[in-house]
Amino acid sequence: MSNSKLLSSLSYFSVFFAPLLLPIIIYFVADEFEVRRHAKKAFVSHIVPMALLIAGFIVMSFSIFSFNVDTITNTNSNMMFWGFVPMLFIILYSLLFVSVLIWNVYQGVKVLK
């Protein structure tokens, strides 16, 4: 097994132990085009859930700050919407993270073969 295949698959498997750090290091250290291409693909696949997580924290902070004393007595659609958003985010993030995890494992095994 060559070092280029091992480095390429390691950049995908890094989703388990160093999701953003290892693909960047491999991208800048490796000389071969194929290894750099796999490291870039792995980095993009690792950054997508992080971007969604940051967006989710922003949305959840709006839902926390939009809750005030007036909404306790007057139930309206705005309160229902902001109460539903965190649960929707958790479901979407879980589905995306599992799919990214499966994709990275599949790509890492595919590169090793």
Position 84 pLDDT exceeds 80 = no
Position 82 pLDDT exceeds 90 = no
Q: Tell me the whole-structure pTM to 2 decimals.
A: 0.75
Which structural domain, as residue segments, surrounds residue 97? 3-112
Q: Cβ atoms within 10 A of the Cβ of 111, count?
A: 21
CB 101 within 8 A of CB 53: no
pLDDT in tens, 47-62: 988 888 888 888 777 7
**pLDDT score, position 56:** 81
- What domain count does the chain have? 1
pLDDT in tens, 5-18: 999 999 999 989 98
Position 77 pLDDT exceeds 90 = no
**pLDDT score, position 58:** 83
CB 16 within 8 A of CB 100: no
Mean pLDDT of 11-36: 91
Q: b vs e for 5-26, b when ≥16 Cβ sit within 10 Å of the residue's Cβ?
A: eebbbbbbbbbeeebeebbbeb
